[in-house]
Amino acid sequence: MIMNAKVLAGIISGVMGLWLFSVPVAFAQAKYPLRPIRVLIPFPAAGAADTIGRSIGDRLSAQLGQPVVVDNRPGAAGRLATEMLARAEPDGYTLLVGGVGPLAISPSLYRKLPYDPEQDFLPITRVAEIINVMVIHPSSGVGNPKQFIGWAKQRGGDVRLGSSGPGQFDHLVGEFFKRQAGISMTHVPYKGGGPALIDMVSGDIQLMFATYVTAVPHVRGGRLRAIAVSTPQRQPLLSDLPAVSELIPGFGASNWNGMFAPAKTPRAIADRLFAEINKAMQHPDVKKRQNAVGIEPGGSPSRAEFAKFIREDAARWAKIIKDANIKVE
């Protein structure tokens, strides 16, 4: 069959057009990055997530040869910055230090979110564990979780659990502990962990699962006592503190953080980011900066494993929230 010359010319033109379009895209992916990368931080400067983003960002900049700009966008307990990533171009130039709250807890706390945790994001790798410690007032005379449970049972319901707010990580860990330990406590929410710890120092509340970085000044000053970590296992950074799971098998809550990109980010760019971020986390300076504020850096074996971890963690929090009948407005 002889093809019409005009038809043939049209086909050739179309193929050339596709080729000319795809070449710049492929070139951009191969040479990525060609311009600065923005890393969204869901919380204010000087916080744990900010330290994670800046320590890793500095190393990425050195490795990739492009500036990595940290952009703090606090608001709505981390959901504001998370929504911003969902709306960003999937080109590898906007990333997010995302955490357990917006991505694993919020889906079970809120009937409607401005993003879909499973469809809108591409998990790159886990980057850090923010260590939470079980903190009590020294006046209790308690020295470990077992003694605290016995002490709390003797007091009946006269034990006050402080938290940084309803539905926040430390609140949910406290509720999980209460159910697993079989004790009664009254939840007292605050607007942030700092104010809660101040009241704890004065004896108004008896227990918190506070971040180590916020609790450590009071612990070192003898005003409060840290008796365990809430993570599933002991942490190398605080090896002298047992994990609550050593007394209550199955207990454990990870205050994890990871790096995320928009869902349709090209695979080649995602793979490059996975390799470079994991390389950055192994640098001594990153470990030193994070350890100084109670953070333990650590990556994922693969992008697929990190995605699987998030799904399983979200399902676990959904059960904890349902069992404790926790509702937020």
**Fold equal for 38-129+255-323 and 132-246:** yes
For 101, which DSSP code? Answer: I
| Residue 98, token pair as written in the block | 């995302």
Query: Could you state, in order of their start, the residue ranges of all structural domains in the chain?
Result: 38-129+255-323, 132-246
Q: State mean pLDDT over 2-23.
A: 48
pTM equals 0.87
Render pLDDT for 237-270 as a digit per residue (tens, 0 to 9): 999 999 999 999 999 999 999 999 999 999 999 9
Count Cβ neighbours within 10 Å for each residue of 247-285 and write b for 16 or more, e otherwise: bbeebbbbbbbbbbbbeebbeebbebbbebbbebbebee
Q: Measuring CA to CA, how many Å separate 148 from each of 152, 155, 199, 233, 253?
A: 6, 11, 19, 19, 19
Q: Using the predicted structure, report yes or no on whether residue 125 has a pLDDT greater than 80.
A: yes
| Residue 36, token pair as written in the block | 């600065």
Q: State mean pLDDT over 282-286.
A: 97
Q: Domain 132-246 sits in which CATH superfamily? A: Periplasmic binding protein-like II (3.40.190.10)
The CATH class, in words, for 38-129+255-323 is alpha beta
The rounded distance, in Å, linking the Cα atoms of 279 and 274 is 9
**Residue 4: pLDDT band with limits 50, 70, 90:** low
In the sheet with 132-136, reading across from the earlier edge strand, the strands are 186-189, 160-163, 207-211, 132-136, 225-229
**Residue 328: pLDDT band with limits 50, 70, 90:** confident
| Residue 37, token pair as written in the block | 């990368």
Name 67's Cβ contacts closer than 8 Å, sequence gap at least 6. 36, 37, 61
Cβ distance 134 to 312 under 8 Å?
A: no
